[in-house]
Chains A and B, each alone.
Chain A
Amino acid sequence: MRRTVTAILLAGGALALLPWLGLPLFYESFLYLVLHWIVLATSWNILSGYSGYFSFGHGAFFGAGMYTTAVLGTRLEWPFLATLPAAALIAAAMGVVLGAVVFRVKRVRGELFALATLAFTFVVGTIILNTPIDGGPGVSLASVGIPKLGPSVPGTFYLLALVLAIVTMLAAYLIARSKLGTGLFAIHDDEDAAEVMGVPTFRYKLGAFAISCAFAGAAGGIHAMFVSYVTVGETFSITVPLSVVLMSVLGGTRHWAGPAVGAAAITALLYAFTTGDHALLGKAVFGAVLIVVILFMPEGVLGWAVGRLRRRVQPTVASAEVPRPTRATRDMGSELLVARDVRKSFRGVQALDGVGLAVREGEILALLGPNGSGKSTFINVVSGHYRADSGSIRFAGDDIARTDAHRIARMGIARTYQIPRPFAHLSVLANVALPAMFGAAALDARGARHEAHRWLEFTGLAAYAHAMPADLNLHQRKFLELARALASRPRLLLLDEVLSGLTPGEINGAVDLIRAIRDQGATIVFVEHVMRAVLALSDRLVVLDHGVVIAEGAASTVLSNPDVVTAFLGTAHA
């Protein structure tokens, strides 16, 4: 990590000498533009590339920066350099306000987010056009003095953009390697699963948005001075958002340096093709290059290159050596989870109709019931995936019925999904390290990787640590779910049909594994249809039907309960 940071700084230092080499001024302006687009594309990528929330509103924040510098420089006569932090701040503040509204609405993902941000651009542009900020004719910065940093004016702009580009790329790199970056990549693949594993998705998106907007704002501030005449029509157009998206996708959005590669390539291509005698042909060639690259390298140039370089992992067949500690006899402790009168309905379907049950510390509780009886909904409500309409859920004394899912995860509840939901673009190891970082264990990146290795060993997936989830079969993916839940070191583990779809042999292995988990100190609630496993594992049974608890107790008494028989088999007609 330190090596890359040093390399970025050294490259920046070397490039900073360029204005003194006596190149034609024209080159400095061209290089300024390359750096300008590197800043815009890289900053865009911090939110949009990493988390998958493609913003088409980057022009709004860039434009906000331009107008901040224009207004502060001309009307309030601030020195140019002093306007740049203000430009960054105002852009970031706008991003936070927009994000705080848009990120609250769960539906606004993907295309809807893209459009909402695009619309925002035109709204901001219209407001600036019609208010004294611009007023229509545009703002000229001719009166603002340019500080002398380089030997020439273009050299000065080049140096300013270089500094900003270095800072932006450092930020992009450090974020990609940080906890924030890990969380953003998880949001990209499966936001709900990330939240349930303890990633504070709302805060992370908002933070990434603010950082992304701040750099765009600063770039706008410099650019206002560079063009020296700012108009709404030029600023708040579709050009900036489209260009940054194209550049980032071309370079590869999952790599911190991808947008920079794309920005340099497109700026150079546009220059090479659209100046000179054959501008029109150049434009068409540019369009064709774009199409060909996207068709043949959908992951972007760097994504493609990294994919080719990555050592193809050949997973050796794992000897699934499951630790089998002797089953400790223990007293069933106090009540760890108490649900009272929990209700949840979906558009008139009452999935939970006043569920009340208690889970004791250290026990394995099986949750049974026919299809549609509310078992999975109950797991979803306890883990915070859904919010209960009413009722209380107390976990270790705290009411969690209205707590965000990521907080619940941090308090010590982990869950698996019935259909495994691994983060598709993260390695198996990273998939398991994520909850270790964000869940109750709250380890740092190093500790989380160590912990992840431990649980991969435990679930027999150690040989696949560097494989991608898509390389695993169903059985292994189910165990990956388990390893992810365990890596957060939960006090309460919610297992949603981990055994369904497994062969009898695999079920035996899984049953041993679940016992071993309990013996390490976790309390387990599991939803299961495989009765053999239920009888082998559970200390107690709770049976749900139509969203209410109809029986609970030891297996022998519960299963002979006439209500339970009716729920599963229907009423006998004579």
Chain B
Amino acid sequence: MTLPSATLLAQSVLSGIFIGALYGLLGLGLSLSWGLLRQINLAHFALAFLAAYLCYQLSHVMDPLATLLVIVPLFALIGVAIQWVFARFRVSPFNSLLVTFGLTVIVEAIIQGIWTADFRKLESSYGAAKFKVGALYVPVPELMTLVVAVVLALAVHVVLRHTDLGRALRATAEDGPIAAAFGINERAVAMGLAGVCAALAGVAGVCLALSYTLTPSQIYAWIGVVFATVMLGGLGGAIGPLVAGVVIGVSESLTMAVTSPAWAPLVSFSLLIVVLLVKRGAVK
């Protein structure tokens, strides 16, 4: 086995960072709802794909990035509605997995009904745009995903750590009844957070649509690796999933460059198992 050239390795690291940013972006909403709402939200992926298809559809009439103006508020509403049902029925964490799976199946059926199972690819002015830095190619859509992922992770981090709202969220996650006794409106906080998580799924969906070819069954393809990202990064944090996503993305693409693409899952999931077994504290 010959070692690939330095340029190829650098290009793999770069593409690993890009895909890792998407892992992190998808993982961000998942991590928040899991860590702070105690919900394992499989429907997060379905919502992201729904947003991706919406973006694809709307891109015929407007700029793909402008679709965020429609998608973000719409998905925030969807998130609030779902949370209302969860609160109404006091769904336990494991049952949340099942309910959101049911939701995923429904969304998949809707997507397939409207857009069929054929592959769809968003065409836009910058869809295929890329520029060259030194010997490396930088695709524009992926770069935008990276920027969005970093900005959102930082923003959520600041809100969680340094605002009253963030403190209320963390207190509610720690002990809901006690937080309520201190005057926090648990229901409102949870609904707000669920709205934010769904909106994040919407943003991730737009990023997906910019860089990837869409087909309904792809919903399930992301679940394993994004869950690995969330576990590595720690639940309920904002920066963790992004860092973990990049670590997984880079290790995957390096594995692909050095050995064969088929070995890539081994790296990320072995990493996850090892971390689960040895890391203390960070994973709650």
Contact = CB atoms under 8 A, between A and B. Distances in A.
Interface of A: 54, 101-102, 105, 107-108, 110-112, 115-116, 118-120, 122-123, 125-127, 129-130, 136, 237-238, 242, 245-246, 249, 280-281, 283-284, 286-291, 294-296, 298
Contacts of B105: 283-284, 286-287, 290
Contacts of B101: 242, 246, 287, 290
29 contacts: A107-B280, A115-B227, A115-B228, A119-B273, A123-B273, A126-B262, A126-B264, A130-B260, A130-B262, A136-B262, A246-B101, A280-B109, A280-B112, A280-B113, A283-B105, A283-B112, A284-B105, A284-B106, A286-B102, A287-B101, A287-B103, A287-B104, A287-B105, A288-B102, A294-B91, A294-B95, A294-B102, A295-B85, A296-B89
B170 to A, nearest CB: 19
Interface string B67-108: 000000000000000000100010111110111011111101
B40 A283 contact: no
Interface string B214-247: 0000001001100110010000000000000000
Contact of B266 (A111, A126, A242, A245): A126
A249 to B, nearest CB: 6
Contacts of A118: 224, 227
Contacts of B9: none
B263 interface: yes
B165 interface: no
A294 B99 contact: yes
Contacts of B94: 54, 249
A130 B263 contact: yes
A42 B144 CA distance: 48
Nearest to B107: A287
B277 A108 contact: yes
Given A108-B276, A283-B109, A291-B102, 11 more contacts: A116-B273, A119-B224, A119-B270, A119-B272, A238-B220, A249-B98, A281-B109, A286-B105, A287-B101, A290-B98, A298-B95
B273 A290 contact: no
Contact of A294 (B34, B98, B113, B265): B98
B283 interface: yes
B10 interface: no
Contacts of A287: 101-106, 109
Contact of A116 (B102, B110, B276, B280): B276
Contacts of A291: 99, 102-103, 106
A249 B95 contact: yes
Contact of A295 (B34, B99, B109, B227): B99
Given A101-B277, A107-B283, A115-B272, A122 B265 contact: yes
B30 to A, nearest CB: 12
A290 B228 contact: no
A112 B99 contact: no
Interface residues of B, number: 43
Q: Which 8 A-B pairs have the closest CB atoms?
A: A287-B105, A290-B102, A287-B106, A291-B102, A284-B109, A119-B269, A126-B266, A283-B109
A453 to B, nearest CB: 33
Contacts of A294: 91, 95, 98-99, 102
B111 to A, nearest CB: 10
Contacts of B276: 105, 108, 112, 115-116, 119
A123 B280 CA distance: 23
Contacts of A281: 109
A144 B41 CA distance: 43
Contact of A126 (B40, B89, B110, B263): B263
Contacts of B231: 112, 115
Contacts of A102: 277
B132 to A, nearest CB: 34
Nearest to A299: B95
Nearest to A253: B94
Contacts of B102: 286-291, 294
Most buried by B among A105, A111, A130: A111
A130 B280 CA distance: 32
Interface string B247-263: 00000000000001011
B167 to A, nearest CB: 24
B57 to A, nearest CB: 18
Nearest to B88: A295
Contacts of B93: 110-111
A284 B46 CA distance: 13
Nearest to B227: A115
Contacts of B280: 107
Contacts of B34: 111
Contacts of B263: 126, 130
A76 to B, nearest CB: 25
A286 B102 CA distance: 8
Contacts of B91: 294-295, 298
Contact of A123 (B97, B103, B265): B265
A410 B142 CA distance: 61
A125 B283 contact: no
A295 B95 CA distance: 8
A518 B171 CA distance: 46
A123 B266 contact: yes
A246 B106 contact: no
B89 A295 contact: yes
Contacts of B40: 111
Contacts of A125: 265
A281 B112 CA distance: 10
A286 B109 CA distance: 10
A136 B262 CA distance: 9
Contacts of A238: 220, 223-224
B37 to A, nearest CB: 13
A238 B276 CA distance: 20
Contacts of A245: 97-98
Contacts of B283: 107, 112
Contacts of B110: 284
Contacts of A122: 224, 265-266, 269
A295 B231 CA distance: 27
Given A249-B94, A294-B99, A120 B224 contact: no
A238 B225 CA distance: 12
A106 to B, nearest CB: 11
A283 B108 contact: yes
Nearest to A238: B220
Nearest to A105: B277
A127 B276 CA distance: 20
Nearest to A129: B262
B33 to A, nearest CB: 13
Nearest to B100: A291
Nearest to B263: A130
Contacts of A246: 98, 101
A125 B270 CA distance: 12
Contacts of A295: 85, 89, 91, 99
A115 B85 CA distance: 26
Contacts of A249: 94-95, 98
A229 to B, nearest CB: 19
Contacts of A110: 93
A55 to B, nearest CB: 12
Contacts of B228: 115, 119
A120 B273 contact: yes
